[in-house]
Amino acid sequence: MKKILSVLTCALLTGIVFSQTSTQNWPNSLLWRVTGKDLKKPTYIFGTMHILCSDDAGLSNDLKTVISNCDEIYFEIDMSDMMGMMNSMKFMRMNDDKRLSDLLSPEDYAKVKNYFAKHSSMLPFSMLERFKPMLISSLMEEDDLPCKSTNGMELVIMKEAHEKNKKINGLETAEFQASLFDSIPYKDQAEDLIKYIDSSDDYKKMTDTLAEAYKAQDLNKIELLTSKETGTTSNFMDLLLYGRNRNWAHKLKTLMPEKSLLIAVGAGHLPGEQGILNLLKKNGYTVSPVMLMGKEM
């Protein structure tokens, strides 16, 4: 089950793998308070990383307090709906019965199979042959972390939320997230998958560096590192990142006034001119950092 959740929560690499550049200097904080305008209670925005080494996936005292005091928690998708999460597996498959073998040369297809054969911690390759190739890449990213055990901040937050009997919701559905990849040619996704394998050492270094920036709560470094991302996804930034940020900012205008919410989304969605923090500012809200204390991320 945890592997299935890993694929779903990593489905959009935009959560932390790439972002946009900006000239704004962001304070080092993953937790931000939203106040003012028509809000009766503060709402909080927290930047997550979908996959971390288990020892690094902890909650600060401030974040625990927010979870305890808020009325509801919103993730990108409702991760408490286990039946819905399992049912969403069908949307992770390519349309028209496409298989990875239809998109790659025999040599490149064999390369992907061999990669998975050497990494026994991943899902069996037979389960993935019809998956959208970008989702397969997300599993590789998890395996690149320098640890035996991994966890995601969403799962850690959800565990704490259940203990506090907090209601959990989603800003989007898993079906919607998976459907976004139907707008990106499968063949392009497959070619990026091969590039990932061919340059796995470079990608591993990138993953390690991003994880370190995340633990340091350094949104500026995350923004700088991720703005260097190249490949097919860089041509679909509005689809995968900017457009979703705008949709969330619009939705939050109706969700926030009466309740105190915790919005936990990929950290790459926070900074930047078109990031969720700046969009909320443009909508008239006051957005300020909460300097995290307690356990270091």
Q: Residues 107-154: pLDDT tens digits?
A: 999 999 998 888 755 677 888 899 999 888 877 777 777 787 888 899
CA distance 32 to 43: 8
Q: Which of 10-19, 94-103, 136-145, 284-293 has the lowest mean pLDDT?
A: 10-19
Task: Compute the radius of gyration of the chain from its Cα atoms.
Answer: 19
What is the number of other CB atoms lying within 10 angstroms of the CB of residue 123?
Answer: 15
How far are the Cα atoms of 79, 143, 283 from residue 85, in angstroms, in the given order? 7, 22, 32
- Asked if 113 contacts 197 with a C-beta cutoff of 8 angstroms, the reply is no
CB 70 within 8 A of CB 262: yes
**Residue 14: is its pLDDT beyond 50?**
no
Q: How confident is the model at residue 233 (pLDDT cuts 50, 70, 90)?
A: low
Task: Identify any residues that bridge with 73 across adjacent strands, giving them in sequence order.
Answer: 168, 262
Helix 200-215 / helix 186-198 crossing angle, nearest 10 deg? 90
CB 174, CB 8: distance < 8 Å = yes
